[in-house]
Amino acid sequence: MLLGGPAVEGRALLGAAIGGGIAEELGAPEEVRIGVSVLGGAAGVTLPAIARAARGDKLSRFQQYLRAHDDALVAEMKELSGAPAARLQTRAVAGAADEPFAGPLLDFDFVASEVVTSDNPIIRVLVGRTGINPSVLHNTDVGKAVTAYYRQRVAMEQLTDVAISSALDVHAQPFTGTRTALRRGENALFSIADDGTVKNVTAKQPGASRQWNDVFSNPERYNLTAGQQRFHDDYVRVIEELESLRVAAGLDPLPIQGAKGLYIPRVVRGVRGVEVKRPTNKNLQRSYEEAQEGVAAGVNYESDTRAVLELHTRRTYNEIIDHQFSEHIEKLNAEAMKRGERLFVTAKELVPQPVLKRMSDATVKRLTAERAVNAERAAVVRAAKEASADTNKATAAVARAKERLASLLGQGGARAQQKPLSLGVAIAGARKRVREAGAVLTAAKAKAKDLPKVRRVDLDKAITPESKARLAEARAEYNAAKARYSTALAKARRTEVAPGSIFGAEDDIPVAQWRNRFFREEDAQFLREGIDDRLKPAQRNWLVRGIETLGNTIRFLSAVGDFAEPFIQGLPTLAFRPTQWARATTRHYQAFFDPTVQARFIKNRLPAFKEMAAHGTPIGDPEFFAALRPGGGFSPGALLKLLPKGDEARQLLRNGGKQTFGRFQASYNAGLGANRALLTESLESVIKNPAERQAFIRNMTGGLDSRALGLGPTQRAVEGMWLGFSPRLMRSTFALAGDLRRGVIDPRGRASWEALTKLAAGATGIYVLTGLALGKSWDEIEAGLNPLNGKRFLSHQINGDWIGVGGQIRAIAQLLAESASTAVPERFGGEGGAGDFAQLNIDNPIVKFWMFRGAPGVTTVGGAVEFGTGLNVLPFDDIDSIPDLFKHFGTSALPFTVQGYLEGEQPLTTGAALVGGRTSPERDFEAEAAAIAQDLASGVLTGTYDPAPVRATQLNSDDEATFNRLHPEFLKSREEQQAEALARGEPFARMRDRTDRSRETLHGDLDNILRSFERDFLGGHDTAKDGIRAFWDTFSGFRKERVGVIRDNEKEFADLIAELEENEPNSPEARAVKLWFEVNGRHPDRFNDAQWTAYELDLARSMTDQEIALAREELGFDDHRLEQIYHALQVSLQPYYELPTDDETRSLRKPRQIWRRENPEGEAALFLLGKIEKVKTTRARDIVEAWSRQLWGVAVPVEVSRRR
């Protein structure tokens, strides 16, 4: 389609969407609808023809076209999906009508048993305390129960989405995704005004309410279209299914059908203009039986049918979860009681036993006395009943006679023409019996008047004095005991300490109350913070909510506008199950033009989606588009509401958002949901345990919810702002890699190994093959296989930009490679920078990995810090002014594809970014680096770049010589810069000038002693050793003077040196200078040979040769030739100095003597430093003569010791 130009592409895409919508309206199978969408664009179904079909003037012809091509369309989808056509046709609809929309929650006990904890202190610190998985810390019964509660809440959200999507969203119009637009005739749904009135229904009886709640309660009273009836049936079905789940969970049933019709939930938004913030309670009796009565009284009900059912669904699931949690706690307490312990107690159980016993005894005594009194009164009542028995019997006889007469009269009205004589006789007899019964009743009543009436006083007279006394005494004791018990109970409810014996402890322990139960204080506190406080948004800190809102908004604005899901979250599936990936990717792209794709897909695969939801696997992406949820991001609509006619503007903005941003959300959700559902189906026989299966799918597709790990809202908000652009995807990828430890025997571990192995092999293979296709050399391809090569890793340079494989797996591979290289010493091929792990800069591989994860906090706060302090916090951004800062803030919140375009990416690169590839434009400094490398490799000046920054980098000796030859002007400009800085009086320039003059003096002195030694190496001494010692003593004396200059500099320029030591180095030279001052600070005194030796060895251990050279050049400490020789000799003797002296060992074998015999070069160095008088081998003698000739221009005679 892209080859046809924008006009053709637009017609094709629109044709695909409308074609699929018409097929859906005609009731075609899902595969046919998808086929029409594909062929509508790819096969060239023209826009005018589809438009005419949509108008209906050629609908029959279009139907004939569908029928004629049905088999071809199914075959087309068979090719796209890789599945048998028969299974495609039947699976989507089999059982869909009977499968419940609302799925059950998992058993709470099972969820609690799945919580993984640890008593290992190392794991608790590394995994729990760091926030990676706080649930490992909750190893108590209460802790596991709370974590299970979190997981059930996560499942509740997903089950709600499944039920609402499959029951209601499936009815929306395919192209618009709304329930009213483009719906006509029998397919029309309910059009509801803001006041709750249904605009497109008519009542069968005049005056009937048109409030949507009343219409849904009594649908038989209204003329509904077929579409409205289907929508209503599914709506009510969800309510009924939720009630069934309540009853199955053990909750008391609530009526679904009442006197006024079906139960339809209502949500009160306000009363007489006052907003109601307290949620509606469905368990309370309604004030108004019909919604129209409430509206007449000023009640404002929610008019969004979907929002009402969604809220009702959430509250029902939450009610079930709370009941599950309560029963689980009761079960845990029962199990603890079997062990002689308690998990909790009630306030009654904290009342002292004597008080409880007295209350119990008093109650029994009172009931016994009352029963005795009632027995004596019963005799009087019994006599009165016997006296009135005749009256009661007569009354019953009259009633029976009248009933018989009424029955006969009724028959006469229906059968008078059939049997007039027999029926008349029967009626006459019945009337006679009525008269006779009435006479008997009159006589009985007259007799009853003569009987005495039973009065209260007569009843009291029947009670004996003994019974009265016992009753009075029992009641008095009961009242006294009750008063004492009430006082003790009130005190118990306020108690803070309970006997330890109740909880299986020896001493009294602190307790606290939670939901009318007393737990150990730590358990009660954990329950309050973990459930009550954490689940109330109003309790969350305003700063935390602000951070979360800002992070959600930036993440949403950056992620919108592309179709990257198949190659980001879906990338592992591409390697692991390519067929499922292709089918999910089809839904991903189709959903942009048909937002109802996901709803239909969910309805047709409810078992898979309900399994996902019950185990907390999200059915879409709840992270990138969290800003679209109420309260999840900054809302421009809230500001519009304050303006005149703000509600209309807000609604217009909302509708526009649904048709733009909402389509990208639908696309992401459909792709992710289909990906996970298809994996669920394909892995049923591979990972048979549903919990393990869903854990693997969550980890592989970026669906791990940190709430299920026990993370609170504060940490989640901080992670969303600072951990990375997608903390959920990062956690999931690390978890997938962590599953490798399970091994290949475990099904989940085997699947993880398979997924990561295929991904690594596939990514590498595609990279190599595309490189060959692009004509890349093997050297270029090999460089891209090295994870240490930054953006070149698995990427190709095309038109000046880098395009390659993205995703978290690639980033983690680079993190591991860079960490290993940094930790490995240079002699083993690594970088030898283990100290970088302690640095808070980009040299630290962990910090680098974190900074490149695109966390909103890093880009926003980092930009502000760089502007305010001047530090290079963001290496690839230059923020030097307020306009730069605002530009940085603005571009950071733009979609990634737009950011790339503004950075200079080519159109092809932008297209690759649009579908999820990793892209990066080539920056100026990278082009310069390439030119520099080319110059250094060829030795010929061919590139154009600024040589000054290059001079500040670390170059090896060969590259430095080449660079100086190519750029001789640099040294001159360096001297000029030093002179200018000295003229300005800059502290560093003055310190450098003093050091330069001290160096010139020292070099002159060293040249003089060198010439003197060449003339007379003995210098008046008897032995060569004495002469050499005198030479080096003179050498050391001059160096002491140099140290004095250094100490003077340290005093005069103390502030400058402190600043150099405190600031983080931002260049190799600055780093070298800092290390130089650190080493010199550890050796303030260098007045003898031992101190100089220690200093030289520390310098060699702490700094590389390049760093030493950079520091000395920067500070003006260029070594004289003698200093270089002295330093080299001392370094070569480091193994000798580390051995114990001959006096320190009692062994006959002297380590240093042995070392000298086995290392003639080292022994020669000892002699040339004046530390020994003779050497042990002729080889050492020859070396001494050769080296001394090079050093002093004269061969110093040396004697070989005869002792071996």
Low-confidence winner among 209-218, 260-269, 1025-1034 (lowest mean pLDDT): 1025-1034
Q: Rounded to whole angstroms, what are the CA distances from 1197 to 216, 1025, 1160?
A: 116, 10, 16
Write out the two tokens for 449: 């008047």
HEC profile of 1047-1096: HHHHHHCHHHHHHHHHCCCCCHHHHHHHHHHHHHHCCCCCCCHHHHHHHH
Evaluate whether 553 touches 634 at the Cβ level (below 8 Å): yes
Write out the two tokens for 405: 């007469």
Closest C-alpha among 842, 1069, 1064 to residue 948: 1069
Banded model confidence at residue 609, pLDDT cuts 50, 70, 90:
very high
Whole-number percent of the chain with pLDDT over 70: 65
Write out the two tokens for 784: 């891209």
What value does the mean pLDDT take over residues 608-615? 94
User: How remote is the C-alpha of 887 from its chain's centroid?
Assistant: 29
Banded model confidence at residue 973, pLDDT cuts 50, 70, 90:
low
Torsion of CA 868, 901, 731, 818, to 10 degrees: -80
Closest C-alpha among 603, 654, 755 to residue 238: 603
Residue 532 CA to residue 527 CA, distance in Å, equals 7
Is residue 943 over pLDDT 50? Answer: yes
Say what the pLDDT of residue 831 is: 58
Answer with the residue of higher pLDDT: 124 or 293: 293
Low-confidence winner among 23-32, 412-421, 471-480, 516-525 (lowest mean pLDDT): 23-32
Say what the pLDDT of residue 22 is: 45
Write out the two tokens for 1056: 């400058």
Answer with the residue of higher pLDDT: 347 or 598: 598
What value does the mean pLDDT take over residues 682-698? 93
Q: Rounded to whole angstroms, what are the CA distances from 141 to 122, 322, 527, 695?
A: 21, 17, 12, 23
Encode pLDDT of 453-494 as tens digits.
Answer: 555 555 666 678 888 888 889 889 989 988 988 888 888 778
Evaluate whether 1169 touches 1028 at the Cβ level (below 8 Å): yes
Residues 6+ apart with CB under 8 A from 416: 423
Evaluate whether 953 touches 928 at the Cβ level (below 8 Å): no
What is the Cα gyration radius of the chain? Answer: 45
Answer with the residue of higher pLDDT: 237 or 1036: 237
Beta bridge partner(s), residue 211: 197
Banded model confidence at residue 74, pLDDT cuts 50, 70, 90:
very low
Write out the two tokens for 159: 């089950």
Banded model confidence at residue 846, pLDDT cuts 50, 70, 90:
confident
Q: Rounded to whole angstroms, what are the CA distances from 334 to 337, 339, 981?
A: 5, 9, 83
Say what the pLDDT of residue 675 is: 92
Residue 1114 CA to residue 978 CA, distance in Å, equals 11
Is residue 417 over pLDDT 80? Answer: no
Is residue 446 over pLDDT 70? Answer: no
Q: Would you call 1140 helix, strand, or coil by DSSP?
A: coil
Is residue 554 over pLDDT 80? Answer: no
Helix axes 987-1015, 1121-1132, angle to 10 degrees: 80
Banded model confidence at residue 1001, pLDDT cuts 50, 70, 90:
confident
Angle subtended at Cα 163 by Cα 157 and Cα 168, rounded to the nearest 5 degrees: 125
Answer with the residue of higher pLDDT: 1030 or 305: 305
Note the pTM of the prediction, 2 decimals: 0.64
Write out the two tokens for 293: 């009565």
Q: Rounded to whole angstroms, what are the CA distances from 38 to 418, 670, 915?
A: 76, 17, 18
Query: Could you give phi then psi for residue 1096, rounded to 5 degrees?
Result: -60, -40
Beta bridge partner(s), residue 274: 271
Neighbour-count burial of 741, counting CB atoms closer than 10 A to its CB (0-12 exposed, 13-18 middle, 19+ buried): exposed
Angle subtended at Cα 691 by Cα 687 and Cα 693, rounded to the nearest 5 degrees: 30
Say what the pLDDT of residue 29 is: 47
Residue 509 CA to residue 520 CA, distance in Å, equals 7
What value does the mean pLDDT take over residues 747-766? 89
Encode pLDDT of 568-603 as tens digits.
Answer: 888 889 989 999 999 999 998 888 888 889 899 999
Write out the two tokens for 353: 């036993």
What value does the mean pLDDT take over residues 635-664? 60
What value does the mean pLDDT take over residues 1024-1044? 75
Is residue 313 over pLDDT 90? Answer: yes
Banded model confidence at residue 81, pLDDT cuts 50, 70, 90:
very low
Beta bridge partner(s), residue 795: 804
Evaluate whether 266 touches 250 at the Cβ level (below 8 Å): no
Evaluate whether 1061 touches 1075 at the Cβ level (below 8 Å): no
Say what the pLDDT of residue 245 is: 93
Residue 1164 CA to residue 1125 CA, distance in Å, equals 13
Is residue 623 over pLDDT 60? Answer: yes
Length of the chain in terms of residues written: 1204
Evaluate whether 110 touches 123 at the Cβ level (below 8 Å): no
Q: Where are the beta strands (DSSP E) in 890-981?
A: 918-921
Low-confidence winner among 772-781, 833-842, 960-969, 1073-1082 (lowest mean pLDDT): 833-842
Answer with the residue of higher pLDDT: 868 or 744: 744
Q: Tokens 């079906």 sit at which residue?
A: 262
Ordered strands of the 268-271 beta sheet: 274-275, 268-271, 299-301
Encode pLDDT of 699-755 as tens digits.
Answer: 889 888 878 777 777 777 777 777 777 788 888 888 888 888 888 899 999 999 998
Write out the two tokens for 724: 């990375």
Residue 725 CA to residue 896 CA, distance in Å, equals 12
Evaluate whether 342 touches 504 at the Cβ level (below 8 Å): yes
Say what the pLDDT of residue 576 is: 92
